[in-house]
Structure 1
Amino acid sequence: MPQYSATDRPALGLICGNTYSVFVDSGNSPAHARDFLQLVEGMDASPVKFVVITHWHWDHIFGMDTMGLLSISHDLTKEKIQYLTTLAWDDASLDARVETGEEIEFCSSMIKREMPTRDELKLKTPDISFNSKMELDLGGVTCIVEHVGGVHAQDSLIVYIPEEKIMFLGDCIYQDFYSGEWSYDLDELTILLDKIRKYDVDYYVTGHQEPMAHAELWHWMDELVRVGEIVDLEVSMDQAVARFNEHEKVMPTEEQLEYIQNFISGSQKKLSETK
Protein backbone atom coordinates (compact mmCIF):
# COMPACT_ATOMS: atom_id res chain seq x y z
CA MET A 1 0.00 0.00 0.00
CA PRO A 2 1.73 3.22 -1.16
CA GLN A 3 2.83 5.97 1.19
CA TYR A 4 0.61 9.03 1.53
CA SER A 5 2.52 12.16 2.48
CA ALA A 6 -0.45 14.41 3.34
CA THR A 7 -0.87 12.66 6.70
CA ASP A 8 2.53 10.93 6.78
CA ARG A 9 1.18 7.45 6.10
CA PRO A 10 4.15 5.18 5.32
CA ALA A 11 4.12 2.39 2.75
CA LEU A 12 2.80 -0.89 4.15
CA GLY A 13 3.72 -4.32 2.83
CA LEU A 14 2.06 -7.73 2.45
CA ILE A 15 4.36 -10.72 1.89
CA CYS A 16 2.48 -13.88 0.87
CA GLY A 17 3.71 -17.42 1.25
CA ASN A 18 1.90 -20.67 0.51
CA THR A 19 1.23 -21.26 4.22
CA TYR A 20 0.71 -17.79 5.65
CA SER A 21 1.41 -14.11 5.06
CA VAL A 22 3.14 -11.26 6.92
CA PHE A 23 2.52 -7.52 7.07
CA VAL A 24 5.39 -5.05 7.11
CA ASP A 25 4.45 -2.21 9.50
CA SER A 26 1.01 -1.53 10.93
CA GLY A 27 0.20 2.00 9.80
CA ASN A 28 -0.02 5.41 11.45
CA SER A 29 -3.56 5.09 12.82
CA PRO A 30 -6.40 2.63 13.35
CA ALA A 31 -7.95 4.01 10.13
CA HIS A 32 -4.75 3.37 8.16
CA ALA A 33 -4.62 -0.19 9.48
CA ARG A 34 -8.29 -0.77 8.59
CA ASP A 35 -7.73 0.56 5.06
CA PHE A 36 -4.90 -1.92 4.58
CA LEU A 37 -6.85 -4.81 6.09
CA GLN A 38 -9.75 -4.05 3.77
CA LEU A 39 -7.42 -3.97 0.77
CA VAL A 40 -5.96 -7.35 1.70
CA GLU A 41 -9.39 -8.92 2.28
CA GLY A 42 -10.04 -8.61 -1.46
CA MET A 43 -6.90 -10.54 -2.34
CA ASP A 44 -6.41 -14.29 -2.72
CA ALA A 45 -3.73 -14.46 -0.04
CA SER A 46 -2.82 -17.01 2.61
CA PRO A 47 -3.84 -16.10 6.18
CA VAL A 48 -1.90 -13.18 7.69
CA LYS A 49 -0.13 -14.33 10.86
CA PHE A 50 2.42 -11.64 11.82
CA VAL A 51 3.15 -7.95 11.46
CA VAL A 52 6.83 -6.96 11.45
CA ILE A 53 7.46 -3.48 12.87
CA THR A 54 10.47 -1.83 11.23
CA HIS A 55 11.05 0.75 14.00
CA TRP A 56 9.33 2.58 16.86
CA HIS A 57 8.14 5.82 15.22
CA TRP A 58 4.41 6.55 15.60
CA ASP A 59 3.55 6.32 11.91
CA HIS A 60 4.63 2.67 11.82
CA ILE A 61 3.06 1.44 15.07
CA PHE A 62 -0.28 3.18 15.74
CA GLY A 63 -2.23 0.53 13.79
CA MET A 64 -0.84 -2.51 15.65
CA ASP A 65 -3.78 -3.04 17.99
CA THR A 66 -6.29 -2.66 15.15
CA MET A 67 -4.52 -5.32 13.07
CA GLY A 68 -4.92 -7.86 15.86
CA LEU A 69 -1.89 -9.90 14.76
CA LEU A 70 1.19 -11.25 16.51
CA SER A 71 3.76 -8.47 16.22
CA ILE A 72 7.52 -8.81 15.78
CA SER A 73 10.11 -6.10 16.47
CA HIS A 74 13.64 -5.46 17.62
CA ASP A 75 14.25 -5.44 21.37
CA LEU A 76 14.83 -1.66 21.32
CA THR A 77 11.55 -1.13 19.47
CA LYS A 78 9.71 -3.03 22.18
CA GLU A 79 11.36 -0.90 24.88
CA LYS A 80 10.44 2.31 23.08
CA ILE A 81 6.84 1.28 22.54
CA GLN A 82 6.50 0.16 26.15
CA TYR A 83 7.39 3.72 27.11
CA LEU A 84 5.01 5.23 24.53
CA THR A 85 2.12 3.26 26.07
CA THR A 86 2.59 5.33 29.25
CA LEU A 87 2.02 8.64 27.45
CA ALA A 88 -1.18 10.57 26.77
CA TRP A 89 -1.91 11.45 23.12
CA ASP A 90 -4.44 14.28 23.38
CA ASP A 91 -3.58 17.66 21.81
CA ALA A 92 -2.47 19.26 25.08
CA SER A 93 -0.10 16.38 25.89
CA LEU A 94 1.37 16.43 22.39
CA ASP A 95 1.86 20.20 22.59
CA ALA A 96 3.58 19.87 25.96
CA ARG A 97 6.02 17.28 24.62
CA VAL A 98 6.82 19.51 21.64
CA GLU A 99 7.59 22.33 24.10
CA THR A 100 10.04 20.15 26.03
CA GLY A 101 11.62 18.78 22.83
CA GLU A 102 10.55 15.20 23.47
CA GLU A 103 8.28 15.32 20.42
CA ILE A 104 8.84 17.26 17.21
CA GLU A 105 6.38 19.68 15.64
CA PHE A 106 6.22 17.76 12.34
CA CYS A 107 5.08 14.53 14.01
CA SER A 108 2.65 16.31 16.33
CA SER A 109 1.08 18.09 13.36
CA MET A 110 0.77 14.90 11.32
CA ILE A 111 -0.73 12.95 14.22
CA LYS A 112 -3.42 15.63 14.58
CA ARG A 113 -4.03 15.65 10.83
CA GLU A 114 -4.32 11.85 10.53
CA MET A 115 -6.31 11.54 13.78
CA PRO A 116 -8.16 14.76 14.70
CA THR A 117 -9.31 12.86 17.80
CA ARG A 118 -7.48 9.88 19.28
CA ASP A 119 -10.32 8.28 21.20
CA GLU A 120 -9.83 4.88 19.58
CA LEU A 121 -6.02 4.92 19.65
CA LYS A 122 -4.64 2.06 21.72
CA LEU A 123 -0.93 1.35 21.69
CA LYS A 124 0.23 -2.25 21.79
CA THR A 125 3.63 -3.59 22.85
CA PRO A 126 5.15 -6.07 20.35
CA ASP A 127 4.55 -9.74 21.17
CA ILE A 128 7.90 -11.07 19.93
CA SER A 129 11.24 -9.26 19.95
CA PHE A 130 14.77 -10.21 18.97
CA ASN A 131 18.25 -8.73 19.01
CA SER A 132 20.00 -9.35 15.69
CA LYS A 133 18.36 -11.43 12.97
CA MET A 134 15.50 -13.86 12.44
CA GLU A 135 13.99 -15.79 9.55
CA LEU A 136 10.34 -16.55 8.80
CA ASP A 137 9.37 -19.42 6.50
CA LEU A 138 6.00 -18.50 5.00
CA GLY A 139 5.85 -21.61 2.84
CA GLY A 140 7.89 -21.26 -0.34
CA VAL A 141 8.73 -17.67 0.59
CA THR A 142 11.31 -16.57 3.15
CA CYS A 143 11.48 -13.34 5.14
CA ILE A 144 14.89 -12.42 6.52
CA VAL A 145 14.40 -9.78 9.21
CA GLU A 146 17.64 -8.09 10.28
CA HIS A 147 18.50 -5.25 12.62
CA VAL A 148 20.50 -2.61 10.72
CA GLY A 149 20.12 0.55 12.84
CA GLY A 150 21.02 3.92 11.33
CA VAL A 151 20.63 7.50 12.48
CA HIS A 152 16.90 7.70 11.71
CA ALA A 153 16.14 5.12 14.41
CA GLN A 154 18.70 2.92 16.12
CA ASP A 155 16.21 0.02 16.24
CA SER A 156 15.55 -0.08 12.47
CA LEU A 157 14.97 -3.41 10.74
CA ILE A 158 15.00 -4.47 7.11
CA VAL A 159 12.83 -7.26 5.69
CA TYR A 160 14.33 -9.17 2.74
CA ILE A 161 12.57 -11.71 0.51
CA PRO A 162 15.34 -13.63 -1.30
CA GLU A 163 12.97 -15.50 -3.64
CA GLU A 164 11.70 -12.17 -5.01
CA LYS A 165 14.85 -10.08 -4.47
CA ILE A 166 12.78 -7.40 -2.74
CA MET A 167 13.75 -5.54 0.43
CA PHE A 168 11.56 -3.44 2.71
CA LEU A 169 13.78 -0.72 4.16
CA GLY A 170 11.31 1.03 6.45
CA ASP A 171 12.88 4.43 7.18
CA CYS A 172 16.43 3.28 7.93
CA ILE A 173 18.11 5.29 5.15
CA TYR A 174 16.54 8.61 6.22
CA GLN A 175 17.96 11.38 8.38
CA ASP A 176 17.92 11.74 12.15
CA PHE A 177 15.16 14.24 12.80
CA TYR A 178 14.43 13.61 16.47
CA SER A 179 17.50 15.38 17.87
CA GLY A 180 17.66 18.93 16.59
CA GLU A 181 18.31 19.76 12.94
CA TRP A 182 17.80 16.93 10.45
CA SER A 183 21.16 15.26 10.04
CA TYR A 184 23.29 12.45 8.69
CA ASP A 185 26.45 10.96 10.16
CA LEU A 186 28.75 9.67 7.41
CA ASP A 187 30.29 6.89 9.52
CA GLU A 188 26.92 5.53 10.61
CA LEU A 189 25.51 5.88 7.10
CA THR A 190 28.43 3.89 5.65
CA ILE A 191 27.97 1.09 8.21
CA LEU A 192 24.24 0.97 7.47
CA LEU A 193 24.71 0.85 3.69
CA ASP A 194 27.27 -1.96 3.99
CA LYS A 195 24.64 -4.04 5.81
CA ILE A 196 22.07 -3.39 3.09
CA ARG A 197 24.41 -3.78 0.13
CA LYS A 198 25.33 -7.39 0.96
CA TYR A 199 21.89 -8.59 -0.18
CA ASP A 200 20.98 -9.32 -3.80
CA VAL A 201 18.06 -6.94 -4.35
CA ASP A 202 16.17 -5.89 -7.47
CA TYR A 203 13.65 -3.58 -5.80
CA TYR A 204 13.61 -1.60 -2.55
CA VAL A 205 10.47 -0.46 -0.74
CA THR A 206 11.08 2.64 1.37
CA GLY A 207 8.75 4.04 4.00
CA HIS A 208 7.96 7.40 2.44
CA GLN A 209 8.77 7.19 -1.27
CA GLU A 210 7.80 5.09 -4.23
CA PRO A 211 9.59 1.72 -4.56
CA MET A 212 12.98 1.98 -6.25
CA ALA A 213 14.89 -0.29 -8.58
CA HIS A 214 18.40 -1.29 -7.48
CA ALA A 215 20.19 1.22 -9.71
CA GLU A 216 17.96 4.11 -8.64
CA LEU A 217 18.43 3.59 -4.91
CA TRP A 218 22.19 3.12 -5.14
CA HIS A 219 22.61 6.13 -7.40
CA TRP A 220 20.94 8.15 -4.63
CA MET A 221 22.94 6.55 -1.80
CA ASP A 222 26.27 6.83 -3.63
CA GLU A 223 25.60 10.52 -4.29
CA LEU A 224 24.68 11.05 -0.65
CA VAL A 225 27.90 9.39 0.54
CA ARG A 226 29.95 11.34 -2.01
CA VAL A 227 28.60 14.65 -0.69
CA GLY A 228 29.26 13.49 2.86
CA GLU A 229 32.87 12.69 2.01
CA ILE A 230 33.34 16.15 0.51
CA VAL A 231 31.79 17.88 3.53
CA ASP A 232 33.80 15.68 5.91
CA LEU A 233 33.64 17.21 9.42
CA GLU A 234 32.96 20.77 8.26
CA VAL A 235 30.51 22.70 10.48
CA SER A 236 30.21 25.88 8.39
CA MET A 237 27.78 25.98 5.46
CA ASP A 238 29.87 28.56 3.59
CA GLN A 239 33.03 26.52 4.02
CA ALA A 240 31.28 23.28 3.05
CA VAL A 241 29.84 24.84 -0.12
CA ALA A 242 33.30 26.21 -0.97
CA ARG A 243 34.78 22.73 -0.49
CA PHE A 244 32.11 21.27 -2.77
CA ASN A 245 32.71 23.92 -5.44
CA GLU A 246 36.46 23.37 -5.31
CA HIS A 247 36.05 19.61 -5.56
CA GLU A 248 33.30 19.51 -8.21
CA LYS A 249 34.10 22.73 -10.13
CA VAL A 250 30.40 23.62 -9.94
CA MET A 251 28.02 24.97 -7.32
CA PRO A 252 25.77 22.40 -5.57
CA THR A 253 22.18 21.85 -6.67
CA GLU A 254 19.27 22.39 -4.25
CA GLU A 255 19.28 18.68 -3.45
CA GLN A 256 23.03 18.67 -2.84
CA LEU A 257 22.68 21.74 -0.61
CA GLU A 258 20.19 19.80 1.51
CA TYR A 259 22.65 16.90 1.83
CA ILE A 260 25.44 19.33 2.74
CA GLN A 261 23.28 20.85 5.48
CA ASN A 262 22.40 17.37 6.79
CA PHE A 263 26.07 16.41 7.15
CA ILE A 264 26.98 19.79 8.67
CA SER A 265 24.25 19.30 11.27
CA GLY A 266 25.61 15.83 11.98
CA SER A 267 29.11 17.24 12.50
CA GLN A 268 27.75 19.98 14.77
CA LYS A 269 26.01 17.38 16.93
CA LYS A 270 29.24 15.38 17.19
CA LEU A 271 31.14 18.52 18.16
CA SER A 272 28.64 19.43 20.86
CA GLU A 273 28.84 15.90 22.29
CA THR A 274 32.61 16.17 22.74
CA LYS A 275 32.45 19.49 24.62
Structure 2
Amino acid sequence: MPCVAVVADDGGSTVVDAGQGPAHARLVQSAMAEAGLPAARRLVFTHHHWDHTWGACAWEVEEIIGQESGAALLAAEARRPWSDEYLREQVVADPRLGPSFRARARAVNDWADFAVRRPTRTFTDRLVLPTGIEVRHVGGRHAPDSTVVAVPDSGVLLLGDCFYPPPFHLREPGPAGEQIDTRQINALVAEGFDWYVDSHSPPWRPPAS
Protein backbone atom coordinates (compact mmCIF):
# COMPACT_ATOMS: atom_id res chain seq x y z
CA MET A 1 0.00 0.00 0.00
CA PRO A 2 1.20 3.53 -0.68
CA CYS A 3 1.68 6.09 2.05
CA VAL A 4 -1.24 8.31 3.03
CA ALA A 5 -0.17 11.37 5.03
CA VAL A 6 -2.37 13.43 7.33
CA VAL A 7 -1.55 17.04 8.25
CA ALA A 8 -3.84 18.10 11.08
CA ASP A 9 -4.60 21.50 12.59
CA ASP A 10 -7.54 23.22 14.25
CA GLY A 11 -9.18 23.85 10.89
CA GLY A 12 -9.34 20.18 9.94
CA SER A 13 -7.06 17.60 8.39
CA THR A 14 -5.41 17.74 4.99
CA VAL A 15 -4.98 14.21 3.64
CA VAL A 16 -2.21 13.71 1.10
CA ASP A 17 -3.24 10.94 -1.30
CA ALA A 18 -6.51 9.11 -0.94
CA GLY A 19 -5.41 5.48 -0.61
CA GLN A 20 -5.46 2.71 -3.18
CA GLY A 21 -9.14 1.96 -2.77
CA PRO A 22 -12.14 2.52 -0.52
CA ALA A 23 -11.05 -0.11 2.02
CA HIS A 24 -7.62 1.50 2.34
CA ALA A 25 -9.23 4.92 2.80
CA ARG A 26 -11.46 3.57 5.57
CA LEU A 27 -8.41 2.14 7.37
CA VAL A 28 -6.86 5.61 7.37
CA GLN A 29 -10.10 7.16 8.58
CA SER A 30 -10.27 4.69 11.47
CA ALA A 31 -6.67 5.46 12.41
CA MET A 32 -7.41 9.20 12.34
CA ALA A 33 -10.43 8.74 14.61
CA GLU A 34 -8.47 6.56 17.01
CA ALA A 35 -5.71 9.19 17.19
CA GLY A 36 -8.26 11.96 17.84
CA LEU A 37 -7.39 13.86 14.66
CA PRO A 38 -9.91 16.29 13.16
CA ALA A 39 -12.00 15.12 10.24
CA ALA A 40 -10.56 15.41 6.75
CA ARG A 41 -11.22 18.77 5.13
CA ARG A 42 -9.36 18.31 1.84
CA LEU A 43 -7.50 15.74 -0.22
CA VAL A 44 -4.32 16.48 -2.14
CA PHE A 45 -3.22 14.11 -4.90
CA THR A 46 0.54 13.75 -5.43
CA HIS A 47 -0.27 12.34 -8.89
CA HIS A 48 -3.07 10.61 -10.76
CA HIS A 49 -2.00 6.95 -10.48
CA TRP A 50 -4.69 4.61 -9.19
CA ASP A 51 -2.96 3.60 -5.95
CA HIS A 52 -2.96 7.25 -4.86
CA THR A 53 -6.45 8.26 -6.01
CA TRP A 54 -8.84 5.29 -6.02
CA GLY A 55 -9.69 5.75 -2.35
CA ALA A 56 -11.08 9.23 -2.99
CA CYS A 57 -14.66 7.99 -3.39
CA ALA A 58 -14.63 6.98 0.30
CA TRP A 59 -13.68 10.46 1.57
CA GLU A 60 -16.13 13.26 2.38
CA VAL A 61 -14.12 16.43 1.91
CA GLU A 62 -14.66 20.04 0.88
CA GLU A 63 -12.20 19.86 -2.01
CA ILE A 64 -9.83 17.59 -3.87
CA ILE A 65 -6.66 19.28 -5.10
CA GLY A 66 -4.57 18.06 -8.03
CA GLN A 67 -2.24 19.35 -10.70
CA GLU A 68 -4.07 20.30 -13.89
CA SER A 69 -2.46 17.72 -16.19
CA GLY A 70 -3.39 14.96 -13.75
CA ALA A 71 -6.97 16.21 -13.62
CA ALA A 72 -7.29 15.61 -17.36
CA LEU A 73 -5.85 12.10 -17.01
CA LEU A 74 -8.25 11.29 -14.17
CA ALA A 75 -11.16 12.52 -16.26
CA ALA A 76 -10.22 9.93 -18.88
CA GLU A 77 -9.85 7.26 -16.19
CA ALA A 78 -13.30 8.09 -14.84
CA ARG A 79 -14.85 7.27 -18.20
CA ARG A 80 -13.48 3.73 -18.27
CA PRO A 81 -15.91 0.89 -17.34
CA TRP A 82 -14.03 -0.41 -14.32
CA SER A 83 -14.97 -3.94 -13.27
CA ASP A 84 -13.23 -7.28 -12.79
CA GLU A 85 -14.22 -8.25 -16.31
CA TYR A 86 -12.82 -5.06 -17.79
CA LEU A 87 -9.54 -5.51 -15.91
CA ARG A 88 -9.19 -9.07 -17.24
CA GLU A 89 -9.87 -7.90 -20.80
CA GLN A 90 -7.21 -5.21 -20.55
CA VAL A 91 -4.59 -7.65 -19.26
CA VAL A 92 -5.32 -10.05 -22.10
CA ALA A 93 -4.88 -7.19 -24.56
CA ASP A 94 -1.63 -6.01 -22.92
CA PRO A 95 -0.03 -8.51 -20.49
CA ARG A 96 2.37 -5.82 -19.22
CA LEU A 97 -0.62 -4.31 -17.41
CA GLY A 98 -0.97 -7.50 -15.34
CA PRO A 99 0.76 -6.41 -12.09
CA SER A 100 -1.09 -3.11 -11.93
CA PHE A 101 -4.50 -4.35 -12.98
CA ARG A 102 -4.47 -7.42 -10.73
CA ALA A 103 -3.60 -5.14 -7.81
CA ARG A 104 -6.50 -2.87 -8.74
CA ALA A 105 -8.87 -5.83 -8.63
CA ARG A 106 -7.69 -6.67 -5.10
CA ALA A 107 -8.11 -3.05 -3.97
CA VAL A 108 -11.82 -2.75 -4.78
CA ASN A 109 -14.27 -5.09 -3.09
CA ASP A 110 -17.46 -3.68 -4.61
CA TRP A 111 -17.43 -1.92 -7.98
CA ALA A 112 -20.98 -0.66 -7.41
CA ASP A 113 -19.67 1.73 -4.73
CA PHE A 114 -16.57 2.74 -6.68
CA ALA A 115 -15.91 5.82 -8.79
CA VAL A 116 -12.78 7.63 -9.93
CA ARG A 117 -12.96 11.14 -8.49
CA ARG A 118 -11.29 14.06 -10.18
CA PRO A 119 -9.83 17.15 -8.51
CA THR A 120 -12.33 19.89 -7.77
CA ARG A 121 -9.50 22.43 -7.57
CA THR A 122 -6.49 22.42 -9.85
CA PHE A 123 -3.21 24.30 -10.00
CA THR A 124 -0.43 24.68 -12.55
CA ASP A 125 2.87 25.21 -10.74
CA ARG A 126 2.36 26.00 -7.06
CA LEU A 127 -0.42 26.39 -4.54
CA VAL A 128 -0.19 27.48 -0.89
CA LEU A 129 -3.09 26.31 1.27
CA PRO A 130 -4.45 28.42 4.16
CA THR A 131 -2.65 26.15 6.61
CA GLY A 132 0.76 27.03 5.08
CA ILE A 133 1.08 23.70 3.27
CA GLU A 134 2.78 24.19 -0.10
CA VAL A 135 1.77 22.03 -3.05
CA ARG A 136 4.32 22.15 -5.89
CA HIS A 137 4.42 20.53 -9.31
CA VAL A 138 7.74 18.80 -10.08
CA GLY A 139 6.78 16.43 -12.91
CA GLY A 140 9.23 13.70 -13.87
CA ARG A 141 9.30 10.36 -15.60
CA HIS A 142 7.00 8.55 -13.19
CA ALA A 143 3.99 10.79 -13.86
CA PRO A 144 3.66 14.13 -15.65
CA ASP A 145 1.62 15.59 -12.78
CA SER A 146 3.94 14.52 -9.94
CA THR A 147 3.58 16.93 -7.05
CA VAL A 148 5.44 17.35 -3.77
CA VAL A 149 3.78 18.63 -0.62
CA ALA A 150 5.82 20.69 1.85
CA VAL A 151 4.84 21.05 5.50
CA PRO A 152 7.27 23.82 6.55
CA ASP A 153 6.27 23.95 10.23
CA SER A 154 7.21 20.27 10.57
CA GLY A 155 10.22 20.28 8.27
CA VAL A 156 8.64 17.55 6.13
CA LEU A 157 8.52 17.13 2.36
CA LEU A 158 6.06 14.56 1.01
CA LEU A 159 7.41 13.25 -2.29
CA GLY A 160 4.75 10.95 -3.66
CA ASP A 161 6.47 8.84 -6.33
CA CYS A 162 8.12 11.75 -8.10
CA PHE A 163 11.62 10.32 -8.50
CA TYR A 164 10.54 6.73 -9.17
CA PRO A 165 10.93 4.97 -12.53
CA PRO A 166 7.98 5.03 -14.93
CA PRO A 167 5.17 2.52 -14.32
CA PHE A 168 6.10 -1.05 -15.26
CA HIS A 169 4.22 -1.15 -18.56
CA LEU A 170 5.94 2.08 -19.70
CA ARG A 171 9.42 1.21 -18.46
CA GLU A 172 12.41 0.83 -20.75
CA PRO A 173 14.41 -2.41 -20.62
CA GLY A 174 16.95 -2.54 -17.81
CA PRO A 175 17.03 -2.48 -14.00
CA ALA A 176 14.47 -0.22 -12.37
CA GLY A 177 17.13 1.31 -10.15
CA GLU A 178 18.90 2.75 -13.15
CA GLN A 179 15.73 4.59 -14.12
CA ILE A 180 15.35 6.49 -10.84
CA ASP A 181 15.48 10.24 -11.39
CA THR A 182 18.56 10.93 -9.30
CA ARG A 183 18.81 14.53 -10.48
CA GLN A 184 15.34 15.27 -9.19
CA ILE A 185 15.74 13.62 -5.80
CA ASN A 186 19.14 15.24 -5.26
CA ALA A 187 17.63 18.66 -5.97
CA LEU A 188 14.82 18.03 -3.48
CA VAL A 189 17.19 16.80 -0.79
CA ALA A 190 19.27 19.94 -1.32
CA GLU A 191 16.28 21.99 -0.14
CA GLY A 192 17.18 20.92 3.39
CA PHE A 193 14.01 19.47 4.88
CA ASP A 194 14.40 17.47 8.08
CA TRP A 195 12.34 14.54 6.85
CA TYR A 196 11.44 13.18 3.43
CA VAL A 197 8.53 10.82 2.85
CA ASP A 198 8.10 8.96 -0.42
CA SER A 199 5.07 6.80 -0.95
CA HIS A 200 6.48 3.30 -0.64
CA SER A 201 9.24 3.59 1.98
CA PRO A 202 9.50 4.57 5.65
CA PRO A 203 10.22 8.28 6.29
CA TRP A 204 13.91 9.09 5.91
CA ARG A 205 16.38 11.84 6.69
CA PRO A 206 18.88 13.16 4.14
CA PRO A 207 22.47 12.04 4.62
CA ALA A 208 24.57 14.25 6.86
CA SER A 209 26.73 16.69 4.92
Same topology, TM > 0.5? yes
Q: Give me the whole-angstrom Cα distance separating, in 2, the residues matched to 1:85 and 1:200.
A: 38
Pick the structure with greater CA Rg.
1
User: Matched residue pairs, number?
Assistant: 205
Q: Percent identity?
A: 24
Alignment partners' CA distance in 1, 2:109 and 2:42: 29
Aligned partners of 1:162 and 1:200 also within 8 Å: no
> C-alpha displacement at 1:111, in angstroms?
1.3
Deviation at 1:34, TM superposition (A): 1.0
Give, as a single letter, the amino acid of the residue that structure 1 aligns with 2:113. Answer: E
- Give how far 1:117 is off: 4.4
Matched residue, 1:213: 205
Query: Among 175, 178, 188, which residue is 1:196 paired with?
Result: 188
Of 143, 147, 151 in structure 2, the residue corresponding to residue 161 of structure 1 is 151
Deviation at 1:194, TM superposition (A): 5.3
Which has more helix, going by share of residues?
A: 1
CA positional deviation for 1:63: 1.0
The residue correspondences of 1:49-198 to structure 2 (distance < 5 A) are 49-69=41-61, 70-101=63-94, 104-138=97-131, 142-177=132-167, 178-181=169-172, 183=176, 189-193=181-185, 195-198=187-190
Residues 149 and 192 of structure 1 are in contact (CA less than 8 Å); yes or no, is this contact kept in structure 2?
no
Aligned pairs for 1:248-263 (under 5 A) are none
- Name the TM-score, length of structure 1 as normaliser: 0.68
Please give the alpha-carbon distance, in whole angstroms, between the structure 2 residues aligned to 1:27 and 1:104: 20
Report 1 or 2 for greater relative contact order, CA contacts < 8 Å, sequence distance ≥ 6. 2
Unpaired runs of 5+ in structure 2? none
Give 1:160's aligned amino acid: A
Q: CA RMSD in A?
A: 2.4
2:149 match: secondary structure: strand
**In 1, distance between residues paired with 2:4 and 2:64?**
14
Q: Which amino acid in structure 2 is aligned with residue 172 of structure 1?
A: C
Which TM-score applies when normalising by structure 2?
0.87
- Contact between 1:20 and 1:47, CA under 8 Å: does it hold in 2? yes
Question: Which ranges of structure 1 fall in alignment gaps of 5 or more residues?
Answer: 1-8, 219-275
Amino acid at match of 2:101: S
Amino acid at match of 1:40: M
